[in-house]
Amino acid sequence: MSVRPYRDIYRRKSRQIHVGSVPVGGDAPITVQSMTNTLTTDVEATIAQVRALEVAGADIVRISCPDKESTEALKKIVPEVTVPIVADIHFHYRRGIEAAEAGAACLRINPGNIGSRDRVREVVKAARDNNCSMRIGVNAGSLERELLEKYGEPCPEAMVESALNHARMLEDEDFFEFKISCKASDVFLAVAAYSALAEACDYPLHLGVTEAGGLQSGTIKSSIGIGNLLWAGIGDTIRVSLSADPVEEIKVGFDILKSLGLRHRGVNVISCPSCARQQFEVIKTVEVLEKRLAHITTPLTVSVIGCVVNGPGEALMTDVGFTGGGRGTHQVYINGLPDHRLKDEDIVDHLVEMVERKAAEIEAAEAAEEDAESANENRAAAAAAS
């Protein structure tokens, strides 16, 4: 009997669209996004927040465009940032047209909410003319009245029907560059709705547990909901909705992907919770270390373990390992092997130096590999031409 490897996640096959230069769906990496909370008309503040999200690793950033002044501001914002911008359109179809013309890479808009078929056609034309994709955003808290009357309450069936109704309006206009979200603040409802939607269509899916809460509670709810779906192979882009600094949403999003082995960015710190056996202050060391390593984007793993019970075993599977030892002298591992000893007073500074050195080695090796591949391609092209 064949047994499926326990770490394998088989992603649902979806069609691929583009949000600006960023592919979403198909075999593209799962993207991480967030949304600004500044007034869009405050151009400087909005640009600053988008740039902070870019530094954190955001692939896509959404900006609210509730009025004409906001879509006018997009004209100034878009040229000043590198990440593709999604314009969040509420109900007015003109805002969708204006945002597409102002440089938005995607419109978050529900066709059924903006009026007549002619208005939908106008928005689709603006999107098509400006290489702009769309996101249909279904939310359990704002379902259409007729669906609530039909089903009695927000439920997976009502949410999926709403999504497919909106999708059909775009399909009727021969427009297929869109993704769909089906969010709810209830984890069970969100997971059930996305699971049913994944069965019903092949469009890329934008995952999220909406209005999840504060930094801690929202992280937990989002990790359970988004994590369950990703583990099942469902999802092409994610947004963690937190009542916190939007940069935290990006960090949590990448941590969710990192935990499932779906995407790696930066340092993955494996650390123990500490106990009476610890030979150094584990909690304080890890707290400072994570802040000091936040600038590193190269994927690598560091283990920080307080004693020799689990330390050597964890170090076997990490790029840089650190295990507490007796008499204030600890063991440092490189690539799983014991490398040298270290005294108490040098822990954080020394580990930062070791991780930075390891990251530089990895980057240099990747660059050399890319150069070799490029050279091979050039030789092959020259040989074919001769």
Query: Residue positions in the annotated binding site for [4Fe-4S] cluster?
Result: 272, 275, 307, 314
Contacts of 51 (CB under 8 A, 6+ apart): 81
For tokens 């003319």, what's the residue? 129
Binding residues: 272, 275, 307, 314
For tokens 């089903």, what's the residue? 151
Helix H or strand E segment including 229? helix 215-231
How far is CA 350 from each of CA 241, 308, 325, rounded to the nearest angstrom? 36, 20, 16
Report the C-alpha gap between 164 and 142 in whole angstroms.
Answer: 15
Report the C-alpha gap between 359 and 157 in whole angstroms.
Answer: 48
Q: What are phi and psi of 5, to 5 degrees?
A: -55, 135
Task: Provide, for the chain, the percentages of residues in helix, strand and coil under a 3-state DSSP scheme, each rounded to the nearest 5.
Answer: 50, 20, 35
Contacts of 20 (CB under 8 A, 6+ apart): 60, 84, 85, 105, 106
